[in-house]
Chains A and B, each alone.
Chain A
Amino acid sequence: MKLFEKFEALAATREHLLAMGPLPFGVVTERILSPTEGIVEGRRTILAGTNNYLGLTFDPACIEAGRQALTDEGTGTTGSRMANGTYAGHRALEEEIAAFYDRRHAIVFTTGFAASMGMVAALAGPDDVLLIDADSHASIYDGCRLSGAEIIRFRHNNPEDLAKRLRRLGERAARTLVVSEGLFSMLGDQAPLEEIVAVKDEYGAALLLDEAHSMGVFGERGRGLAEARGVEDGVDFVVGTFSKSLGSVGGFCVSKHPQLEIVRMASRAYIFTASPTPSIVASTRAALRLIRARPELRTRLWENARRLYAGLAECGFELGPEPGPVVAVFVDDPERAIRSWHRLLDAGVYVNLVIPPATPDNRALLRCSISAAHTPAQIDHIVEAFANLDAAAGAVAGTA
């Protein structure tokens, strides 16, 4: 069929990858054992690529809340938030997420992708400008395309470049939505939020911040990087997800602006999809309570992250710029990265393989994400598996 011709290059890549062993993209966890372990390829495997930052997927309170809602409210809502799909739980979750962020308004979406895409697409229109970090997530890029606004990129994490581009816009800067992320998901680097907020304030632009990977991870109360950097007042819209630190699925936007209630009626990603299931809403609410009640989870996450970062750095690997829950190992040659990924899996360690063009530059990444639920012994096993790549294969490029 002619329609499939455009996928020929992708199909060839897939065949090539399959010839090298299990397909790294969409690997099957045959049985999930805990937040940090599963059976993969018949082997007990440490999961170090899950975004389960606080390890809450098996928390008894979250499971019980979900189980109760499943019993009481059924398997799904079968409808949109705008029609029959808003239950008391959805509204309560919105109130609780708004209170958590100390904002007055919140919208809950069915997925994190829908939240960032839907907000970007709804907030900016044909007369507006979207000024986005060049390394933005796919959901932000897709939202930009759907918005009809003029789309301009600024150099990744570069406030000077942002300022330059706002200056060039002149009066249009006041109709500009700047979009950045707290923690960037590929390299684990953090946005210079103090500078970004100062720049957008200087030019009178608005700021949407995606805290998907930083919620529950940064800040005294776990609200994200904006809290940690003391710039929450300068962020107009925070979007995020329930599928990482909160261990469920869904997304949200919170804002101090009362007009968020109007955006609810304009965001197609919010309107034209079924609302989150009652059990998801219930387990998310339970997890949100745990973020507040158990700050020690964050402490443990950071201890683990620093332990992994230090261990891999000691082995000589080239890593993302700073320690954090995402630790990216650079590999110059994608072929070598694929072989290394297989060897890690053979050694009982699952990480994320990322190859161009999904990477910020032309190198590949072996991306580790760490959980508060990892034990120090598991972290040491991950480091050992990486260290053994050298001996087994002549190495991951980037090792000293």
Chain B
Amino acid sequence: MASYDECLQIIRELAEPFADEGVTIEEESVLGAELGLSSLRTLELVADLEDRLDVSLPLNALPGVRTVGELARLLEKASGGNEG
């Protein structure tokens, strides 16, 4: 179970090697346009995040994810962090 803030922190850590150099990863950062992540890179990042939190993110949920914050919310939900 991971909180939203923990998910955010994990994304920052794992996205850094994938993101364009010198880019700051903020909650509002758009994964493609601002971080420079291609769709392939985004899926690689998702796989790394899944491993870290021991969850599987359904592909169906990903089209609704545009920003780092939205990805953190999805991870939080998948890890059971927002239950109750």
Considering only residues 314-360 of chain A, those with a C-beta below 8 Å from chain B are: 356-357
The reply to whether B58 and A361 form a contact with Cβ atoms under 8 Å apart is no
Find A357's partner among B40, B56, B58 (CB 8 Å cutoff). Answer: B40
Contact with B along A167-199 (1 / 0, CB 8 A): 011000000000000000000000000000000
- Inter-chain CA distance A264–B43, complex, in Å, is 34
Query: Is the beta-carbon distance between A153 and B39 smaller than 8 angstroms?
Result: no
CB neighbours of A165 from chain B (8 A): 56
| Chain A residues near B38 (CB-CB < 8 A) | 356-357, 362
A to B CB contacts below 8 Å, 25 in the list:
A134-B43, A134-B47, A150-B58, A151-B59, A152-B56, A152-B57, A152-B58, A152-B59, A153-B47, A153-B59, A155-B47, A164-B54, A165-B56, A168-B54, A168-B55, A168-B56, A169-B56, A356-B38, A356-B40, A357-B38, A357-B39, A357-B40, A361-B40, A362-B38, A362-B40
What DSSP secondary structure best describes chain A's contact surface?
mixed
Q: Are A150 and B60 in contact (CB under 8 A)?
A: yes
**Bound-complex Cα distance A165 to B38 (A):** 24
Q: Which of A134, A153, A362 has the most CB of B within 10 A?
A: A153
**Nearest CB in chain B: distance from A222 CB, A:** 34
Q: Shortest beta-carbon distance, B20 to chain A, in Å?
A: 14
Query: For the complex, what is the distance from the CA of A356 to the CA of B59, rounded to whole Å?
Result: 20
Task: Produce 1/0 per residue, B56-77, CB < 8 A to A.
Answer: 1111100000000000000000
Q: Which residue of A lies closest to B55 (CB)?
A: A168
Scan B34-45; emit 1 where CB is below 8 A from any A CB, else 0. 000011100100
CB-CB under 8 A from A152, the residues of chain B are 56-59
Q: Besides A134-B43, A152-B56, A357-B38, 5 other CB < 8 A contacts?
A: A152-B57, A168-B54, A168-B55, A169-B56, A356-B38
Q: How many residues of B contact A (CB 8 A)?
A: 12
| Chain A contact residue count (CB 8 A cutoff) | 15
Q: Which residues of A come within 8 Å of B, CB atoms?
A: 134, 144, 150-153, 155, 164-165, 168-169, 356-357, 361-362
Q: Which residues of A contact B59 (CB under 8 A)?
A: 144, 151-153
> What residues on A are CB-neighbors of B54 within 8 Å?
164, 168
- Top 7 A-B pairs ranked by shortest CB distance? A151-B59, A150-B58, A152-B56, A165-B56, A168-B56, A151-B60, A152-B58
User: In the complex, which of the residues B38, B40, B54 has the most CB atoms of chain A within 10 Å of its own CB atom?
Assistant: B40
CB distance from B41 to the nearest CB of A (A): 8
Smallest Cβ distance from A217 to chain B, in angstroms?
28
Point out the residues of chain B lying under 8 angstroms from A357, CB to CB: 38-40
Q: Which of B8-44 contact A (CB under 8 A)?
A: 38-40, 43
| A-side contacts of B56, CB under 8 Å | 152, 165, 168-169
Give Cα A313 to B39, complex, Å.
Answer: 31
A151 touches B40 (CB 8 A): no
What are the residues of chain B within 8 A of A362 when measuring CB–CB? 38, 40
| Chain A residue at smallest Cβ distance from B57 | A152
Contacts of A144 in B (CB 8 A): 59
Within the assembled complex, what's the spacing in Å between the Cα atoms of A362 and B37? 12
Residue of B nearest to A356 (CB): B40
Q: How far is the CA of A16 from the CA of B38 in the complex (A)?
A: 20
Q: Which residue of B lies closest to A167 (CB)?
A: B54
Q: Which of B43, B56, B60 has the most CB of A within 10 A?
A: B56
Q: How far is the CB of B77 from chain A (nearest CB, A)?
A: 14
- Report how far A152 CA is from B57 CA in the complex, Å: 7
Task: Name the A residues within 8 Å of B57 (CB-CB).
Answer: 152
**CB-CB < 8 A to B60: which residues of A?**
150-151
Q: How far, in Å, is A200 (CB) from chain B's closest CB? A: 15
Closest to B78 in A: A168
Q: Could you say which residues of chain B place their CB within 8 Å of the CB of A134?
A: 43, 47
B80 to chain A, nearest CB (A): 11
How far apart are A134's CB and chain B's nearest CB, in angstroms?
7
**Chain B residue nearest to A152 in the complex (CB):** B56
- Return chain B residues, CB-CB under 8 Å to A155: 47
Q: Give Cα A153 to B58, complex, Å.
A: 8
